[in-house]
């Protein structure tokens, strides 16, 4: 992003990043990961997909896939997990781990899974957007985020599969 990271634009200003910009960024990152994972001459694992997008530290808490935390190894599947967290962060305007919650540390992924089970996932949309977003796009991005952030790496879709999800008109496909 020009002039700052996505993190700075999501959290740093008084004006929220508009929904069309967020949605475009989310799918732009998918396209970049598709290139790295499947279209470049060699598969490239990013290792640290996150909103601040600095690569000095690989494996940032909150974005780290469960299997990477256990094995210490990065993979295409761990990039997919990190992207899922990023997609949820873009939609919700919340950090991956909420340390300021009165119940203690709350995971963004766990919170949205709970809302999904109640068919209320759109309630997690960034409050600063008000109603200034496309509800279907918001739901699509959150469901894609949840698919990507599935705790079992074998259940996560590939980047290419998600490109297909982006183009579908219905979300009766995933869970």
Half-sphere exposure of 52 (CA within 13 A, CB side): 14
Cα–Cα distances in angstroms (integers) from residue 119 to residues 39, 56, 76, in the given order: 36, 38, 29
Q: Which residues are catalytic?
A: 48
Of residues 88, 94, 76, 63, the one with CA closest to residue 140 = 88
CB-CB contact of 59 with 68 (8 Å): yes
Please tell me the distance from the alpha carbon of residue 13 to that of residue 128, in angstroms, as a whole number. 11
């Amino acid at each position: 992003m020009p002039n700052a990271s996505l993190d700075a634009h999501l959290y740093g200003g008084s004006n929220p990043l508009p929904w069309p910009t967020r949605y475009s960024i989310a799918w732009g990152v998918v396209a970049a990961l598709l290139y790295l994972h499947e279209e470049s001459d060699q598969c490239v694992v990013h290792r640290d997909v996150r909103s601040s997008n600095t690569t000095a530290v690989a494996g940032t808490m909150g974005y780290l896939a469960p299997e990477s935390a256990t094995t210490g190894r990065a993979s295409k599947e761990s990039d997919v997990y990190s992207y899922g967290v990023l997609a949820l962060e873009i939609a919700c305007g919340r950090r991956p781990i909420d340390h300021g919650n009165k119940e203690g540390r709350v995971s963004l992924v766990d919170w949205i899974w709970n809302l999904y089970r109640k068919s209320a996932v759109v309630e997690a949309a960034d409050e600063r957007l008000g109603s200034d977003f496309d509800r279907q796009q918001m739901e699509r991005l959150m469901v894609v985020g949840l698919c990507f952030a599935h705790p079992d790496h074998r259940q996560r879709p590939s980047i290419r599969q998600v490109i297909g999800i982006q183009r579908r008109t219905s979300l009766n496909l995933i869970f």
